[in-house]
Amino acid sequence: MSQTKHPRLTEDALRHGMRHVPAVVTIVTISGSAGPEGITIGSFVSLSLDPPLICFNVNRAASIHDRFAEASRFIIHVLREGQSHLSDRFAIPDLSGEEQFQDVDYELDEHGTPVLSDALVTFYCSRSDIQPGGDHSIVIGTVDRVEEGSPGRPVVYHQRAYHGVGERVAERA
Ligand SMILES: Cc1cc2nc3c(=O)[nH]c(=O)nc-3n(C[C@H](O)[C@H](O)[C@H](O)COP(=O)(O)O)c2cc1C
Protein backbone atom coordinates (compact mmCIF):
# COMPACT_ATOMS: atom_id res chain seq x y z
CA MET A 1 0.00 0.00 0.00
CA SER A 2 1.20 3.50 -0.78
CA GLN A 3 -1.02 5.00 1.93
CA THR A 4 1.86 6.64 3.78
CA LYS A 5 3.17 8.44 0.69
CA HIS A 6 -0.31 9.40 -0.56
CA PRO A 7 -2.44 9.65 2.57
CA ARG A 8 -5.63 10.59 0.70
CA LEU A 9 -5.52 7.74 -1.78
CA THR A 10 -5.03 4.04 -1.28
CA GLU A 11 -3.72 1.79 -4.03
CA ASP A 12 -6.99 -0.14 -3.73
CA ALA A 13 -9.03 2.99 -4.40
CA LEU A 14 -7.06 3.65 -7.58
CA ARG A 15 -7.32 0.04 -8.74
CA HIS A 16 -11.05 0.04 -8.00
CA GLY A 17 -11.62 3.28 -9.87
CA MET A 18 -9.62 2.10 -12.87
CA ARG A 19 -11.74 -1.05 -13.16
CA HIS A 20 -14.46 1.20 -14.62
CA VAL A 21 -12.11 2.19 -17.44
CA PRO A 22 -12.21 -0.36 -20.28
CA ALA A 23 -8.91 -1.21 -21.94
CA VAL A 24 -8.28 -2.76 -25.32
CA VAL A 25 -6.21 -5.91 -24.83
CA THR A 26 -2.95 -6.15 -26.76
CA ILE A 27 0.11 -8.36 -26.80
CA VAL A 28 3.40 -6.55 -27.36
CA THR A 29 6.24 -8.72 -28.66
CA ILE A 30 9.96 -8.06 -28.87
CA SER A 31 13.16 -9.93 -29.59
CA GLY A 32 15.77 -8.89 -27.05
CA SER A 33 18.63 -10.62 -25.28
CA ALA A 34 16.22 -13.31 -24.04
CA GLY A 35 14.97 -14.01 -27.57
CA PRO A 36 11.35 -13.67 -28.71
CA GLU A 37 8.94 -12.82 -25.89
CA GLY A 38 5.81 -10.83 -25.20
CA ILE A 39 3.62 -9.20 -22.58
CA THR A 40 -0.09 -8.49 -22.27
CA ILE A 41 -0.61 -4.74 -22.31
CA GLY A 42 -3.83 -2.85 -21.65
CA SER A 43 -2.34 0.63 -21.63
CA PHE A 44 -1.79 0.97 -25.39
CA VAL A 45 -2.93 4.31 -26.83
CA SER A 46 -2.31 6.53 -29.82
CA LEU A 47 0.00 9.44 -28.92
CA SER A 48 0.59 11.49 -32.09
CA LEU A 49 -0.42 11.37 -35.76
CA ASP A 50 2.48 13.46 -37.10
CA PRO A 51 4.90 11.96 -36.31
CA PRO A 52 3.02 8.65 -35.97
CA LEU A 53 3.56 7.74 -32.31
CA ILE A 54 1.89 5.30 -29.94
CA CYS A 55 2.69 4.54 -26.31
CA PHE A 56 2.03 2.06 -23.53
CA ASN A 57 3.22 1.54 -19.97
CA VAL A 58 5.37 -1.31 -18.68
CA ASN A 59 5.73 -2.15 -15.00
CA ARG A 60 9.33 -1.67 -13.91
CA ALA A 61 9.02 -4.96 -12.01
CA ALA A 62 7.97 -6.89 -15.14
CA SER A 63 10.56 -9.41 -16.25
CA ILE A 64 10.43 -8.05 -19.82
CA HIS A 65 10.86 -4.41 -18.72
CA ASP A 66 14.58 -3.96 -19.29
CA ARG A 67 14.45 -5.67 -22.67
CA PHE A 68 12.38 -2.77 -24.02
CA ALA A 69 15.53 -0.66 -23.68
CA GLU A 70 17.47 -3.26 -25.71
CA ALA A 71 15.03 -4.02 -28.52
CA SER A 72 14.87 -1.27 -31.11
CA ARG A 73 11.59 -2.67 -32.45
CA PHE A 74 8.40 -4.12 -31.09
CA ILE A 75 5.06 -5.28 -32.47
CA ILE A 76 1.66 -4.50 -30.93
CA HIS A 77 -1.16 -6.96 -31.63
CA VAL A 78 -4.73 -5.93 -30.83
CA LEU A 79 -6.54 -9.14 -29.89
CA ARG A 80 -9.85 -10.03 -31.47
CA GLU A 81 -12.82 -11.73 -29.79
CA GLY A 82 -11.81 -15.35 -29.35
CA GLN A 83 -8.18 -14.55 -28.53
CA SER A 84 -8.50 -13.72 -24.82
CA HIS A 85 -6.60 -16.93 -23.99
CA LEU A 86 -3.54 -15.18 -25.46
CA SER A 87 -4.00 -12.33 -22.99
CA ASP A 88 -3.99 -14.84 -20.13
CA ARG A 89 -0.94 -16.62 -21.53
CA PHE A 90 1.19 -13.50 -21.93
CA ALA A 91 0.21 -12.23 -18.46
CA ILE A 92 1.54 -15.30 -16.63
CA PRO A 93 4.50 -14.23 -14.47
CA ASP A 94 7.97 -15.58 -15.11
CA LEU A 95 7.31 -17.69 -18.22
CA SER A 96 10.23 -18.04 -20.61
CA GLY A 97 9.67 -16.82 -24.17
CA GLU A 98 9.69 -20.41 -25.30
CA GLU A 99 6.91 -21.28 -22.83
CA GLN A 100 4.89 -18.22 -23.82
CA PHE A 101 4.82 -19.19 -27.50
CA GLN A 102 4.17 -22.90 -26.97
CA ASP A 103 1.13 -23.88 -29.10
CA VAL A 104 0.67 -20.26 -30.21
CA ASP A 105 0.47 -19.50 -33.95
CA TYR A 106 3.14 -16.97 -34.88
CA GLU A 107 6.05 -16.33 -37.20
CA LEU A 108 9.16 -14.17 -36.90
CA ASP A 109 9.38 -11.04 -39.03
CA GLU A 110 12.55 -10.00 -40.88
CA HIS A 111 13.99 -8.61 -37.61
CA GLY A 112 13.23 -11.73 -35.57
CA THR A 113 10.26 -10.20 -33.73
CA PRO A 114 7.30 -12.54 -33.22
CA VAL A 115 4.15 -11.76 -35.23
CA LEU A 116 1.04 -13.40 -33.76
CA SER A 117 -1.38 -14.84 -36.30
CA ASP A 118 -4.82 -13.38 -36.91
CA ALA A 119 -4.67 -10.27 -34.70
CA LEU A 120 -7.39 -7.70 -35.36
CA VAL A 121 -4.74 -5.11 -36.18
CA THR A 122 -0.96 -5.19 -35.89
CA PHE A 123 1.30 -2.18 -35.38
CA TYR A 124 4.97 -2.60 -36.32
CA CYS A 125 6.99 -0.05 -34.34
CA SER A 126 10.50 1.28 -33.78
CA ARG A 127 11.33 2.37 -30.25
CA SER A 128 11.35 6.15 -30.07
CA ASP A 129 11.74 6.85 -26.36
CA ILE A 130 11.28 5.45 -22.85
CA GLN A 131 10.22 7.84 -20.10
CA PRO A 132 9.80 7.24 -16.37
CA GLY A 133 6.23 7.03 -15.08
CA GLY A 134 6.21 6.17 -11.38
CA ASP A 135 6.53 2.42 -10.96
CA HIS A 136 6.06 2.01 -14.73
CA SER A 137 7.99 3.16 -17.79
CA ILE A 138 6.25 4.84 -20.69
CA VAL A 139 7.40 3.21 -23.93
CA ILE A 140 6.93 5.41 -26.98
CA GLY A 141 7.11 3.91 -30.45
CA THR A 142 7.11 5.23 -33.98
CA VAL A 143 4.65 3.26 -36.09
CA ASP A 144 6.39 2.00 -39.22
CA ARG A 145 3.54 -0.12 -40.58
CA VAL A 146 -0.05 -1.00 -39.74
CA GLU A 147 -1.58 -4.28 -40.85
CA GLU A 148 -5.33 -4.71 -40.49
CA GLY A 149 -6.50 -8.31 -40.16
CA SER A 150 -9.84 -9.68 -41.27
CA PRO A 151 -12.85 -7.69 -39.99
CA GLY A 152 -13.72 -8.35 -36.36
CA ARG A 153 -14.00 -6.76 -32.96
CA PRO A 154 -11.44 -6.26 -30.19
CA VAL A 155 -11.24 -7.88 -26.78
CA VAL A 156 -11.87 -5.34 -24.04
CA TYR A 157 -10.82 -5.74 -20.40
CA HIS A 158 -13.40 -4.31 -18.00
CA GLN A 159 -14.20 -5.06 -14.35
CA ARG A 160 -11.55 -7.81 -14.35
CA ALA A 161 -13.10 -9.77 -17.23
CA TYR A 162 -12.89 -9.95 -21.00
CA HIS A 163 -15.70 -8.47 -23.06
CA GLY A 164 -16.57 -7.74 -26.65
CA VAL A 165 -17.50 -4.23 -27.73
CA GLY A 166 -21.06 -3.47 -26.55
CA GLU A 167 -23.95 -2.05 -28.54
CA ARG A 168 -23.84 1.48 -29.95
CA VAL A 169 -25.49 3.93 -27.55
CA ALA A 170 -25.54 6.98 -29.84
CA GLU A 171 -24.21 8.30 -33.11
CA ARG A 172 -21.56 10.97 -32.74
CA ALA A 173 -23.19 14.43 -32.95
C1 LIG B 1 -5.68 -7.34 -19.45
C2 LIG B 1 -4.29 -7.08 -18.91
C3 LIG B 1 -3.67 -5.87 -19.14
C4 LIG B 1 -2.37 -5.63 -18.66
N5 LIG B 1 -1.77 -4.43 -18.94
C6 LIG B 1 -0.51 -4.21 -18.51
C7 LIG B 1 0.15 -2.99 -18.84
O8 LIG B 1 -0.39 -2.11 -19.53
N9 LIG B 1 1.44 -2.83 -18.39
C10 LIG B 1 2.07 -3.78 -17.64
O11 LIG B 1 3.23 -3.58 -17.27
N12 LIG B 1 1.47 -4.95 -17.31
C13 LIG B 1 0.20 -5.18 -17.74
N14 LIG B 1 -0.40 -6.36 -17.43
C15 LIG B 1 0.33 -7.35 -16.61
C16 LIG B 1 1.37 -8.15 -17.43
O17 LIG B 1 0.80 -8.65 -18.62
C18 LIG B 1 1.94 -9.40 -16.72
O19 LIG B 1 0.94 -9.97 -15.95
C20 LIG B 1 3.14 -9.21 -15.85
O21 LIG B 1 4.14 -8.54 -16.52
C22 LIG B 1 3.61 -10.58 -15.29
O23 LIG B 1 4.74 -11.08 -15.93
P24 LIG B 1 6.21 -11.02 -15.19
O25 LIG B 1 5.97 -11.09 -13.73
O26 LIG B 1 6.96 -12.19 -15.76
O27 LIG B 1 6.75 -9.73 -15.59
C28 LIG B 1 -1.69 -6.63 -17.91
C29 LIG B 1 -2.34 -7.86 -17.68
C30 LIG B 1 -3.60 -8.09 -18.16
C31 LIG B 1 -4.27 -9.43 -17.93
pLDDT in tens, 48-100: 999 999 999 999 999 999 999 999 999 999 999 999 999 999 999 999 999 99
pLDDT at 8 over 90: no
Q: Is the CB of 28 under 6 A from ligand 1?
A: no
- High-pLDDT (> 90) share of the chain, %: 92
97-119 confidence digits (pLDDT tens): 999 999 999 999 999 999 999 99
Give the residue extent of every domain in the chain: 22-44+63-126+145-158
The DSSP annotation for the chain comes to --TTTSTT--HHHHHHHHTTS-EE-EEEEEEETTEEEEEEES--EEEETTTTEEEEEEETTSTTTTHHHH-SEEEEEEPBTT-HHHHHHTTSTT--HHHHTTT--EEE-TTS-EEETT-SEEEEEEEEEEEEETTEEEEEEEEEEEEE-SS--B-EEETTEEE----------
- Of the candidates 87, 86, 40, the one whose C-alpha atom is nearest the C-alpha of residue 63 is 40
Q: Is the CB of 138 under 6 A from ligand 1?
A: no
pLDDT at 3 over 50: no
Q: Is the CB of 41 under 6 A from ligand 1?
A: yes
- High-pLDDT (> 70) share of the chain, %: 97
Domain 22-44+63-126+145-158 has CATH 1.10.3720.10: no
Please enumerate in sequence order all residues whose Cβ is within 8 A of that of 154, keeping only pairs 6 or more positions apart, or say none.
24, 25, 78, 79, 80, 81, 120, 164, 165
